[in-house]
Amino acid sequence: MVIAEPEVGKAAVVVDVAALSSPRFAALPPLALYVHIPWCLKKCPYCDFNSHEAKGEAPEAAYVDALLADLEFALPSIWSRRIVSIFIGGGTPSLFSAEAIDRLLAGIRARVPLAPDAEITLEANPGTFEREKFAGYRAAGVNRLSVGIQSFDPKHLAAIGRVHDADEARRAADAALAIFGNVNFDLMYALPNQTVAEAEADVATALAFAPPHLSFYHLTLEPNTLFHRYPPPLPDEEAAADIEDAVHATLESAGYRHYETSAFAHPGRECRHNLNYWRFGDYLGIGAGAHSKLSFADRIVRQVRYRQPKQYLEQVAAGAPLQEDSVVTRKDVGFEFMLNALRLTDGVPAALFAERTGYPLALVRQGLEAAEARGLIERDPAMLRPTALGRRFLNDLQQLFLP
């Protein structure tokens, strides 16, 4: 609806009233906590995450203090809400000692209510730990380990500039499974000069460990990385699609469910923390450059903390860790919801749209009609679920919901 209300002495002002109305939430979504540790031994040439070479010891004690101060600063935004999962990601969180992780988790538990069965994941890189450190993380309360294997092939590990070798990858896989059981391996494919047979061999090695969860990412050239500036000889689109098809089939026949674009799991071992992102749940991100999405009775906000570790520490000390703080507009929220939900093989119940965005599903009616007409989304009024074609051409499907 449009109102034309001329101000005195001015031309009529046209206001789209619908665009100004705010969302309504009957209940707030589940809330997860993300903790960012921004240091690595060395920057990998393909990586655009907020990670920085440690150049000596990372200041772990000061950083844990800052994380807890940061959490305290955020408490008014999440007052009385329970945390359903924690993900300690990076960077390389396994650079931190078990004592630091123990102090961090104890500090979190003392400040926010944590669900008794909360999934608590920590990202570990091969070559940055030993078994005792793992056992220490487990004793601190970490109950899921995500290991950045990337490849078991020495040639490919060298080509992508990893600090670990194939033996370290195997030792890390062994130790993770022995101590945690609940483990994810990150693997990448379409590596420089990689053939289908080599990618299959990587996956066969991973499967021999039988991790309950596997993430399988297409190596992408991200702006502001060394690989973007000096591109290595990557398999072309067709060769990458051949790798993807072969490996997906192998994983599925080995009993893994391809439940999200890049994620495979044994039934019941899906990553709960990530599922919350894809279902447009809330998350508070603390630490350098961490992103948050938080719902309130009448709005959804996105926040980003200062990215550079040094500046982040200074800003937390000054009581102002937020570099960006904005309200998600009605124009963007439909796209943001669909961007996430359509990554899931099973999609989400249609009713979740209104529950999580605070707006009726009609907000994305045009996109839904276009997607249905092209066979990219199921014609099921109870579900928002991509078809097999929609999963293959996910970018095209997602773009139909662009504001």
Ligand X SMILES: C[S@@+](CC[C@H](N)C(=O)[O-])C[C@H]1O[C@@H](n2cnc3c(N)ncnc32)[C@H](O)[C@@H]1O
Binding site for ligand X (CB under 6 A): 46-47, 49, 89-90, 92, 123, 125, 148, 150, 186, 188, 217, 219-220, 222
- Which CB atom, from 111 or from 258, has the smaller least distance to ligand X? 258
The Cα–Cα gap between 353 and 273 comes to 19
Q: Is 308 helix (H, G, I), strand (E, B) or coil?
A: coil
151 binds, among ligand X, ligand SF4, none (CB under 5 to 8 A by kind): none
89 binds, among ligand SF4, ligand X, none (CB under 5 to 8 A by kind): ligand X
Q: Is 81 helix (H, G, I), strand (E, B) or coil?
A: coil
Q: How far is the CB of 90 from ligand SF4 (least distance, A)?
A: 5
- Which CB atom, from 74 or from 147, has the smaller least distance to ligand SF4? 147
Among 28, 47, 69, 361, binds ligand SF4 (CB under 6 A): 47
- 60, 86, 183, 177 alpha-carbon torsion, rounded to 10°: 60
- Which CB atom, from 80 or from 395, has the smaller least distance to ligand X? 395
- Which CB atom, from 23 or from 90, has the smaller least distance to ligand X? 90
The Cα–Cα gap between 338 and 385 comes to 10
Amino acid at 366: Q
- Which CB atom, from 46 or from 401, has the smaller least distance to ligand SF4? 46
49 near ligand SF4, rule: CB under 6 A: yes
- Within 10 angstroms of residue 389's Cβ, the number of other Cβ atoms is 14
Tokens 């990858």 sit on residue: 169
Q: Is 276 helix (H, G, I), strand (E, B) or coil?
A: helix
Closest CB to ligand X: residue number: 148
- Please choose, out of 46-54, 104-112, 203-211, 392-400, the segment that lies near ligand SF4 by the rule CB under 6 A: 46-54
205 binds, among ligand SF4, ligand X, none (CB under 5 to 8 A by kind): none
43 binds, among ligand SF4, ligand X, none (CB under 5 to 8 A by kind): ligand SF4
The first and second tokens of residue 375, run together, are 């066979």
Amino acid at 306: Y
312 binds, among ligand X, ligand SF4, none (CB under 5 to 8 A by kind): none
Among 30, 60, 87, 92, binds ligand SF4 (CB under 6 A): 92
Q: Which residues contact 242 (CB under 8 A, 6 or more apart)?
A: 196
- Which CB atom, from 39 or from 312, has the smaller least distance to ligand X? 39
157 near ligand SF4, rule: CB under 6 A: no
Bridge partners, 283 (sequence order)? 32, 293
Residues 110 to 139 in contact with ligand SF4, rule: CB under 6 A: 125
Sign of CA dihedral 207, 213, 218, 222: negative
334 binds, among ligand X, ligand SF4, none (CB under 5 to 8 A by kind): none
Q: What element of type H or E holds 296?
A: strand 291-296
Separation of CA 233 from chain center? 28
HSE, CB side, 13 Å, CA atoms: give it for residue 183: 24
89 near ligand SF4, rule: CB under 6 A: no
43 near ligand SF4, rule: CB under 6 A: yes
The Cα–Cα gap between 221 and 48 comes to 9
By C-alpha distance, which of 245, 283, 176, 224 is closest to 391?
Answer: 245
51 near ligand SF4, rule: CB under 6 A: yes
316 binds, among ligand SF4, ligand X, none (CB under 5 to 8 A by kind): none
167 binds, among ligand X, ligand SF4, none (CB under 5 to 8 A by kind): none
The Cα–Cα gap between 128 and 124 comes to 7
- Contacts with ligand SF4 by CB under 6 A lie at 40, 43-44, 47, 49, 51, 90-92, 125, 148
